[in-house]
Chains A and B, each alone.
Chain A
Amino acid sequence: MSIGEGDLAEVSGAGMRAERAVAQRYLRRVPWEMVAWGLGNCLLWLSLWPLVFGGILPLWLGFLLATLSAILGYLPSHEAQHSIIGAEGTRWRWLNELVGHASLLPLAFPYRLAWITHRQHHAHTNHPDLDPDISNRGETWLRSAYRALRARQPGEGHCYARTIRESQHPKRDQALVESFVMQVLHFGVLTSAAWSGYAIEACLLWWLPKHLGLVYIQLFLSWAPHYPMVETGRYRDTRVWTCPFGTIASMGMEYHLVHHLYPKIPLFDTPKAFRAMEGLLLAEGIRDERSQQP
């Protein structure tokens, strides 16, 4: 599994040692900006409910903000999934777990499930049978979005369900409990609101934004940086690319390669880390596709 410190132990040779020395400069920082992003985004999303229900905020604006909130909800949890905010047994572990759970609320996605399946993604990136994100594979972004949508259908046996079923992870049962609670909470809130006369509001504040957010996340955080999701190997499973909408719209995924090489480098530091180790990475034969468009 190529996660964090394990990665550092794997590297060998002069080039890799130099790469590791650069990476070390960006490790072990608590990314407070991600804590603020994750908790702030969750509070913003929660505040939409009373604002819309109370008639203070128009529903169309609430829908747009809820969709933005769902899109922004994943990455702070992603930092927590890698224990970047607080490792096990450290002072900020509780905050790590809080950000992990809370930031995924707009997506109605269970944190522990994301945590286990994401580690499998790192361990088996682009593997046709073992990468739980392989359902996002597609020749075009439209094809990928459709395949991801199909994979979420109830009878499809989603890769995440298979991964968690076959997982030997010690927190697997906890992940299942949390997934069950999240499903019941999501469905319970939707139906309660709907039968109280707020079905359209519930649809536009949670159900639809969740699905739009998942499409965006699957395209920009999974499909684009790993496109065409065929090659495997430390320097080949993830590419360096140029997002036509800019680095911010891609949420920093142009430098997702750095994350796969050193998962404990905070998101905001991956562009700096890439620039610092660019020469070393090019010498290793990375997929530099900055001049191409997806």
Chain B
Amino acid sequence: MKYAESLEMLVRMGPILFGVGFLAPLIAQSVDALGWQAPFGLPSIAFGLVVGTMLGLLARYRGSWV
């Protein structure tokens, strides 16, 4: 059953892990690729981490990305 529990924990924590681990660098690299400037003079990766983590927390809290 440990795999069932691990899988459930992974799913529960999934949105936050996804937000920090994948969305943050994706947002940062998209900002750079589009030639945009992150607000408040933030480095793009810091902006990505803020937005990615917030989206992940929101999805975790709401139980949904959409």
Contact = CB atoms under 8 A, between A and B. Distances in A.
Interface string B9-22: 01110110110011
B42 interface: no
Contact of A187 (B17, B30, B62): B17
A150 interface: yes
A145 B25 CA distance: 28
Contacts of A202: 22, 26
Contact of B64 (A153, A177, A180, A190): A153
Contact of B18 (A150, A187, A195): A187
**Chain B interface residue bracket vs A:** 20 to 34
A154 B60 contact: yes
A154 B66 contact: no
A173 interface: yes
Contact of A180 (B7, B60, B62): B7
A199 B22 contact: yes
Interface string B26-66: 10111001000000000000000000000000011011111
Interface of B: 3-4, 6-7, 10-12, 14-15, 17-18, 21-22, 24-26, 28-30, 33, 59-60, 62-66
**Which 6 residue pairs across A and B have the least CB separation, nearest first?**
A155-B63, A191-B21, A153-B64, A194-B25, A199-B26, A199-B25
